Structure 1
Amino acid sequence: LKGTWTNTVTLVADDNVTSDGIETLQHTRQSETLANESVPKSFDIKKIYLAEYPTVISGLGRKKPNATDALVAAINTGTLMVNYQGHGSEDLWADEEVFNRVTTIPRLNNERLFFLSAPTCDFAYFDKPGVISGAEELLITENKGVIGGFVSSRPVYSAPNAALNEAFYSNLFPDNSSTHEARTIGEAYFITKQVFDESNDEKFFLMSDPALVLNSPSIPVAIDSVNGNTLNENSIQIKALSTVSVAGSVKNSNGDVDNNLEGEGFVTVYDAEKQKFIKDLNETVVKQGGIIFNGRVSIENGNFRTEFVVPKDITYENKNGKIVAYVFNDNNDGIGFTTNVIVGGTDTTVVNDNKGPEAEIYYDNINFENSFLVNPDFKLIVKLTDETGLNTTGTGVGHKLEAILNEDVENTIDLSNNFTGDLNSGGKSGLIEYNFFDKEPGNYNIKILS
């Protein structure tokens, strides 16, 4: 199964609140270190940090249901890997139970199996008679769950866990690249265990076919130019309201353009990264910039080109953004990226028409009009069109792509990352596709803000 999910890594981190009070362990900081130092920069990194989610106190204790919802949505939408950093047991992740074997696994609906790394206690306690651990059930459940895991079978400690896990990721992705060398899970595990052989490390094992190679994009792709300017040491600026062109190419093993490759691709342009201070942790984390453009392109003779209008709602900080190109056909897929673009400023020669896009709402299938009956698990589809370009950054006040379900304005649903531009449309039309799960029977109304 090809798709941008093969270029996605989901990082989940515990907060610092336990049943015994506030602790000093830095699970979120460990996750940030993994993201910054060991995960290739080409990946789309989704972060689910419990400290950022609201707490709900009930008769069942302290919970963070929105974090669990985000985890289930990330898995069901598709992610190559999930990493959990924090406290755990045979059945649970975190005191707030962001993952609960009994209640979370039944909610999973992911035919795109992910690889799990879980530097936490006991989650793969496989040798306790009569007991199935969470990791085991994720592995043996048919048609969903994990393809394998790097997990522990006993109580382990936070700091050495993090060091071991970072080494495993670094060995899985040599030179911090997903396309440099296709290592098997077993090779990465073997190299890691040659160095990490202390008592804590011995409690970790590979719950996987060691010959497995992750389904990450393997063909190198280059972003060749922006606005006709070749990318080199000098970054190219893209301004709000300006029309930007991006051209790139797919490379062969010799580094030349693969003129025989035909297919499709997705070009995604991100705003500059943001720093977010989490008061409860007294910690600053990096948040990926909003999506300025995400559109489908044709690959012809190994080359692709697209253009789009930069929305007005950018950060204006004149910092580096990122352009990622994912390409695929029936046989292969590839990835490439650049950060040699500066996002900021405004093209003052352009007149803003101050009109919003046209929107059409469908459910499950765009060919089914007037569909009012849906299953508990259903897909919301919104078709958007705007001849001056669509704003998908999700950063402007009142300008987000979002849904309001049953007038619940306090818990809007951010749709910004679920939009994909139509093939070769230049960001002027496209679809939002958002999956709902486990909805109770009854009447619902939904409002789309764009």
Structure 2
Amino acid sequence: EIVNAVDNGALVVNYFGHGGEDGLAVERILLKPDVNGFRNYCKLNCFVTVTCEFTRFDNPFRETAGEFTYWNKQAGAISLITTTRQIFVSFAVSFNNTLGKYLFSYSDDDAYDDNEYPSMAEALRLAKSDPKVSGINQKRLIFFIGDPAMKLAFSKPNIRLTKINDVPLAQATDTLKALSYVKLAGEVTDVSGNLLPNYNGTLSTTIYDKLIDRRTLANDGTRLNGELVILDFETLGEIIFRGQSTVKNGQFEFDFVVPKDIGIPVGFGKVSFYSKNEELSLDQSGASINTLKIGGINENAAEDNTGPVITLYMNDENFVSGGITNEQPTLLAKLEDLNGINTASGIGHDIVAILDGDETNPVILNDYYQTEIDDYTKGTVSFPFRELEPGLHTLTLKAWDVYNNSSISEIQFIVFDKDQELAINNVLNYPNPFVNYTEFWFNHNSSEPLDVSIQIFTVSGKLVKTINGQTTGGFKSTSSLSRDLIWDGRDDFGDKIGKGVYVYKLTVRSNILNKKVEKIEKLVIL
């Protein structure tokens, strides 16, 4: 879960508890191999560890997990606020609470307004200077690693909800009932609440059901004065809608059908907004709390007995079941239903993937589902797998619509070890036959660029054209399909060649493995 949260783009990761040079917690919840496997490309975080020697950087003979977190060249952390020696719990609690006030700018003891933020290093300096921390020597064990002038990438305020079912918020009395159709509207504003009429972009909205009261399990046997220690706490409710909509001239609206699995008692949910403009230069955010009532059942809901349509791919939408991938493929699931997909996590109603029939380790995918822009009936699940074993794998995915109708789909794929073997399959050119344009396609198992050569021969064996190129690759590439080479039907001298059948040889070479693979296919020119 920690690795998934990092890969999904958590801005701040704050760990409080046992830790050491090799990782976090006695249960080994995060170790050096996990850190090296982070895939939060272009979404680097501030990693805060209030623990012991997680980043003991002064021993050149032992590299620590904290150092690996920062050294990760393509992912990991942009900065660390981290400990280098053992610290005591009493100090750790006081320091962590104090740091949060300055890092997230809700302290009344600094010179920053609530919507202004110090740099991460300055937040640490302010925390160490705070009276609750300044007199304790252990503050010297906490360091900042990174650019001291860098600030966290906080979005600007504000985004607000203005209408429910076309009724202004001040007059609205509607409750979001199970299976009811809902339309919400709002606007993007500046910090003073003024509409931004020139703001155009895409809004991401997450709507949560009512808060959930929870209790710790007391399964570690901890006692205080002879009594088991049980703590009560609240968490956000289940997500009942996660979707995208267009913002035009600072205003937006979107609609959806409320899932059947919401909590029936009526109470206030939470709406969270995040928007990015077309130029990717201004991110806005906002929330609506204690304004949206959720609960009850729509007794007049239309009937729906049909489950969602599910289409599965690996890495990209050109994947064909039975194709090849590397050890870290990304599952893409395209879901479509007239009333939308259920993500409210009713008992047994999650979006679930089962790999190779292992039902004891299901992959819950609710948090990885996102609707298409301005269309709640369609959406995509995108989930990155890690370190799969080489060989044939079968993946089954089950999803439910908001009426709790289910569907199941299955896909097979073959994992090749990219560090030991270069593999290609599904070699073809499209269109075929063609007149003056075709693309050469093939699947491969490499995440690094590959050298590609295509030689085209007549049926008598005469070479008429050689095309050289490279596949796209790199750390952000997830596609296992190459369609980078094209041909216009002309020979090496630029002359149009005759109609008929030709043979081509595809040669793919990996410079890292020093290996190559060849395939021969036919094409037809009209």
TM-score (norm 1): 0.79
Alignment correspondent of 1:94: 25
> In the alignment, which residue of structure 1 is the partner of 2:421?
none
- Aligned partner letter, 2:369: F
Query: Take 1:413 and 1:303, find their aligned partners in 2: how far apart are those partners?
Result: 37
Cα deviation digits, residues 122-164 of structure 1 (max 9, x gap):
1121222422222122112211211111111111012321221
Q: Which residue does the alignment assign to 1:84?
A: 15
| In structure 1, distance between residues paired with 2:194 and 2:324 | 52
Aligned residues: 378
Contact 2:36 2:68 in 1 (8 A): no
Structure 2 equivalent of residue 405 of structure 1: 355
Deviations 1:391-434 (A, max 9, x none): 1212x223211111111122211111111011100x21111111
Match of 1:284 among 217, 229, 232: 232
Which residue number in structure 2 is paired with residue 237 of structure 1? Answer: 175
Residue 355 to residue 284, structure 1, CA distance change in 2 (3 Å): farther
How large is the RMSD of aligned CA atoms in angstroms? 2.1
Secondary structure at the counterpart of residue 292 of structure 1: strand
CA positional deviation for 1:236: 5.5
SS of aligned partner of 2:341: coil
Per-residue Cα deviation, 1:225-267 (whole angstroms, up to 9, x for no partner):
2223444598852110111111111112442110011111111
Q: For residues 187 and 352 of structure 1, do their structure 2 counterparts lie closer, same or farther at Cα, with a shift above 3 Å needed?
A: farther
Percent of pairs identical after alignment? 28
Aligned to 1:108: 38
Q: Deviations over 1:160-204 (max 9, x none)?
A: 212211211121222389982232113322221111121122211
> Could you tell me how far apart the structure 2 residues matched to 1:440 and 1:151 are?
35
Higher strand share: 2
| Equivalent residues of 1:179, 1:220 under 8 A apart | no
Within the alignment, does 1:389 sit opposite 2:371 as a pair?
no
Does residue 1:302 correspond to 2:302, yes or no? Answer: no
Letter in 1 for 2:236: Q
- Of the candidates 217, 221, 226, which is equivalent to residue 159 of structure 2? 221
Given that 1:168 and 1:192 are in contact with CA atoms closer than 8 Å, whether structure 2 keeps it comes out as yes
- Tell me how far apart the structure 1 counterparts of residues 184 and 118 of structure 2 sit (CA, whole Å): 31
> Quick one: distance in 1 between partners of 2:192 and 2:236?
32
Give the aligned partner of residue 51 of structure 1. Answer: none
In the TM superposition, 1:15-164 aligns within 5 A as: 70-101=1-32, 103-111=33-41, 112-164=43-95
Distance 1:413 1:285 in 2: 26
Per the alignment, do residues 308 and 178 of structure 1 end up closer, same or farther by CA in structure 2, a change over 3 Å counting?
Answer: farther
Asked whether the equivalents of residues 163 and 172 of structure 2 are also in contact (C-alpha less than 8 Å), the reply is: no
> For 1:360 and 1:141, how far apart are their aligned partners in 2?
35
Alpha-carbon offset, residue 285 of structure 1: 3.7
Give the structure, 1 or 2, with the largest relative contact order (CA under 8 Å, sep 6 or more): 1
Question: How many Å separate the matches in 1 of 2:119 and 2:171?
Answer: 34
Shift of the alpha carbon at 1:117?
0.7
Alpha-carbon separation, structure 2, partners of 1:179 and 1:389: 38
- Tell me if 1:190 matches 2:141: no
Give the corresponding residue for 1:442: 391
> CA shift at 1:369, angstroms?
4.1
Which residue number in structure 2 is paired with residue 209 of structure 1?
147
Structure 1 residue 346: Cα displacement: 0.8
Q: Distance in 2 between matches of 1:178 and 1:380?
A: 43
Q: Which moved more, 1:187-196 or 1:272-281?
A: 272-281
Letter in 1 for 2:253: R
Q: What's the TM-score once normalised by structure 2's chain length?
A: 0.68
Contact kept? 1:107, 1:438, Cα under 8 Å:
no
Tell me the SS of whatever aligns to 1:200: helix
**Number of the residue aligned with 1:431:** 380
More helix by share: 1
What runs of 5+ residues in structure 2 fail to find an aligned partner?
221-229, 400-526
